[in-house]
Amino acid sequence: MLTHTQPAYSPAHSRFTSPVKTLDQAVTDQPNHFGKLPAHSPIGPSVNSNRDAELGELLKLLGTLVVSLKTWMSREHEAPKPQPPVTAYPTPLVSSPHRPLVNTVPAPDSLPTIRREWKEQLAPFMNRSNLASTRNAFDTELIEMFSDKNYEPITAFMSEKPKGQKPDDLHNGLRATYENFPYLGALGREEHVAAIKVAMATFGQSPAGIFKHVAKHGDHYDVTMRDGFKLTITVEELELAAKAAKFSGGDEGMVKDAQFLFAVMSKRQYLELERDSATDPFMSLYGKDSAYHAHRTYPGVLSGAGGGIDGDTALSYLGLKEHLQVIDASALGTQVGVPLDKGARNKNGVIIEGVMEGQLYNTPVSPSLKVVTLRG
């Protein structure tokens, strides 16, 4: 059924008349590429209407973005708002029976300083003008000994081992320290360690049992040896000896006692050198900045300990000369001994059950080797 007001074809006029469009029928006036009207005329308007809707939504989003951007830019230039005041209430003090109040004492600003008398005395030698060109192992030992790098003051110089009680582990409780390659032990303290182990195995680990009398008075210790020799050793000298000894081991208390013994035997060696220096004509020929003077000081004795020491001499510096006996290694048996003579580059260690410690550990000794041991 036609809805047009005029027929599509009129014989009276003999020509084609376009139909009138209605609201419910959309017809395009443009022919397609075949020169004919499109077969599905409603598709075009539908697509256009969809595009219009999408464009409208896009414009809405763009408007929202513009508004948000303007709002953000306006907030950026606003002055910061002051924070609301906060009322602080003091925390009530609650007394608890499980946590009693403790009166704390503020720590002192610094630890009590130790007088560096030996450092001042050796200053001319250590600060000599030709140090850079003449520096040797002795100088290096002194520099390391007086260095304050990683310094920690020692609060106790002896262990709490009871007087006369033997070491728990004579083998591994105390050792001479070895350094990394290419260090070959030429400056080790094995022979000092050997003499100290012999003394500990005979009279006990504590210096109070090895010496006749040990007493602390302020910043020094008074020591009386078994042979009657008396000396005073200061805290400064004990700390220098602890650095110079380079001892190690699995028993901290044994190492601490050994450092004390090393300090005392080195102090006695220095005092005997000082006595001989009083009649030495060469002392007046060399200045205070000479190695001749430096080697005859207490720090000089500590630094030169790497040169080794004879077994009987080391035990004599501990005041045990009256207890010495020299025997063949074959007659040592279960006793602990030390070789009579020092071993040059290859340091001699303590001999326990026919085996000698030292630079080369666990080395069997010759049965005819002269060994020094102690009578209790």
Is residue 145 one of the residues assigned to a domain? yes
Is residue 155 one of the residues assigned to a domain? yes
Residue 200 CB partners (closer than 8 Å, separation 6+): 166, 167, 170, 210, 254, 257, 258
Percent of the chain with pLDDT over 90: 50
pLDDT band (50, 70, 90) for residue 62: confident
Give residue 34's identity as a one-letter amino acid code. Answer: F
Residue 250 in this model has a pLDDT that exceeds 80: yes
Is residue 294 one of the residues assigned to a domain? yes
Q: What is the pLDDT of residue 59?
A: 86
Tally of structural domains, the chain: 1
pLDDT tens profile 140-164: 999 999 998 878 888 899 999 999 9
pLDDT tens profile 91-142: 555 454 455 554 545 544 444 456 689 999 999 999 999 999 999 989 999 9
Residue 272's domain spans which residues? 117-309
Is residue 250 one of the residues assigned to a domain? yes
Is residue 112 one of the residues assigned to a domain? no
Is residue 247 one of the residues assigned to a domain? yes
Q: What is the pLDDT of residue 238?
A: 97
Taking the alpha carbons of 320, 322, 327, 333 in that order, is the dihedral positive or negative? negative
Is residue 376 one of the residues assigned to a domain? no
Residue 188 in this model has a pLDDT that exceeds 90: no
pTM passes above 0.75: no
Contact 188, 359 (CB under 8 A): yes
The residue with greater pLDDT, 313 or 47, is 313
Q: What is the pLDDT of residue 116?
A: 84
Cα three-residue angle 149-264-357, rounded to 5 degrees: 85
Q: Averaged over 162-188, what is the pLDDT?
A: 80
pLDDT band (50, 70, 90) for residue 231: very high
Is residue 85 one of the residues assigned to a domain? no
Residue 329 in this model has a pLDDT that exceeds 60: yes
